[in-house]
Amino acid sequence: MSLTRSAARPTAGSAARRSHSGLLQAWLPKLVLAPSAAISLFFVYGFMLWTFILSLTNSRMLPSYEFVGFAQYARLMANDRWWVASTNLVVFGGLFVAICLALGLVLAILLDQRIRQEGALRTIYLYPMALSFIVTGVVWKWLLNPGLGIQAMVRSWGFENFRFDWLVDPDMAVYTLVIAAVWQASGFVMALFLAGLRGIDDSILKAAQLDGASLPRIYWRVVIPCLRPVVFSAVMILSHIAIKSFDLVVALTGGGPGYASDLPATFMYAHAFTRAQIGLGSASAMLMLGGVLAILIPYLYSELRSRRHG
């Protein structure tokens, strides 16, 4: 990372011998970046602005531009379902990120112990990331359905009192989302941690071992702190998966029972597209974006800071 500091130097060097073609060379990087910058300006920021404008209108089935101020936000605040969805996101997101990190770290450490067939195991842990819930939704619904899936299976083995009916329990349905989401993403987190572990300098560990530190202690005091940047990347990736979670809810619970397992993304979609309330849907989208910003700004801040001082 210390290498990046020198990045400023060559620009100065090439500026010294600026010629006609040198001028073009100086502009080329900006030219190359220009289309992407324009795309991002229009398709990300332009669309966000457009969504914000719509959130101030009473748009119904298709966008209209009759402004109603912040009335849609007020309606959103008064909407019970929105609060259920937001609370669910906190519960779901928190558990999802925490469990993925813990499970990913444990699996990565265990897998790093010169395991036979490591490649096969790693692939098995990683593959769920390759599948969308459009593909696995049906089978998850089966597995979690008390009458068809795991509960029925375990009962058929003779454990008549076994219960696993979270899917149909309004208080527990949101946790079934956590199970499936962890299944999908924890292997990826494991891969990130494994990559991080492999990147740690052996000599640090040897030194710690020579000091007579026990294995758990080495991990706790030496290895895990080295993984901090990985934890950071993983938290970012996981929280954006959590906020965007949509297919998952649609495939598993449909937001039910009732709307007990609704999330903001499904709330927004239902209102903007199914219920002809684009204004309200846009308002909820803006609040979601606000949530994203709250996560992203600290990340970008530290990212840029570490670059400058790294």
Partner 1 sequence: MDNVIRRRTLGARLGRATLYAVLLLAALFYLLPLAVMLVTSVKPLAEITPGTLLSLPREPTLVPWAKAWGEACTGMRCEGIGVYFFNSIAIVVPAVLISTAIGALNGYALTKWRFKGSELLFALMLFGCFIPFQVVLLPMAQTLGWLGLSSSRAGLILVHVIFGIAFTTLFFRNFYVAVPTELVSAAKLDGAGFFRIFWRILLPVSAPIIVVSVIWQFTQIWNDFLFGVAFSAHNTQPVTVALNNLVNTSTGAREYNVDMAAAMIAALPTLIVYVLAGKYFVRGLTAGSVKG
Partner 2 sequence: MTLLENPLRKTALALATAAAASMTFSVQAAEVEVLHWWTSGGEARAANVLKELMEAEGYGWEDFAVAGGGGETAMTVLKSRAMSGNPPSAAQIKGPEIQEWGELGLLGELDEVAGAEGWDELLPPTVADVMRHNGSYVAVPVNVHRVNWLWANPQVLEAAGVEMPTTLDELFAAGEAIREAGFIPLAHGGQAWQDATVFESVLLASGGTEFYQQAMVELDPEALGSERMIEALETFKRLRELMDADMSGRDWNIATSMVIEGSAGMQLMGDWAKGEFTAAGLTAGEEYLCAAAPGTQDAFTFNIDSLAMFRVEGEEREAQQALARLVLEPTFQEAFNLAKGSIPARPDLDMNGFDACAQQSMDDFQRTAEEGGLVPSMAHGMAVRADVQGAIFDVVTNYFNSRDMAAEEAARRMVNAAQAAL
CB of 193 to partner 1, least distance (A): 9
Residue 122 interacting with partner 2 (CB under 8 A): no
As given in the structure block, the two tokens for residue 52 are 């914000």
Among 94, 215, 220, 221, binds partner 1 (CB under 8 A): 215
Instruction: Look at phi and psi of residue 63 and say left if phi exceeds 0, alpha if psi is from -120 to 50, else beta.
Output: beta
Which of 99, 139, 126 is CA-nearest to residue 252? 139
Name the CA radius of gyration of the chain, rounded.
25
Per CB under 8 A, which of residues 190..249 are in contact with partner 2? none
Residue 271 interacting with partner 2 (CB under 8 A): yes
Beta carbon nearer to partner 1, 80 or 198 = 198
Instruction: Look at phi and psi of residue 249 and say left if phi exceeds 0, alpha if psi is from -120 to 50, else beta.
Output: alpha
CB neighbour list of residue 264: distance below 8 Å, 6 or more residues apart: 82, 85, 86, 89, 243, 284, 287, 288, 291
67 bridge partner residues = 57
CB of 273 to partner 2, least distance (A): 5
Residue 257 interacting with partner 1 (CB under 8 A): no
Residue 284 interacting with partner 2 (CB under 8 A): no
**Within the chain, what is the greatest distance between any pair of CA atoms?**
84
Residue 156 interacting with partner 1 (CB under 8 A): yes
Quick one: which segment of 16-24, 37-45, 164-172, 283-291 binds partner 2 (CB under 8 A)?
164-172
* Residue type (1 letter), 129: M
Partner interacting with residue 56 (select from partner 1, partner 2, none; CB below 5-8 Å by kind):
none
Where on the chain is the footprint of partner 2 (CB under 8 A)?
60-63, 75, 78-81, 141, 145-147, 165, 167-168, 170, 173, 252-260, 270-271, 273-277
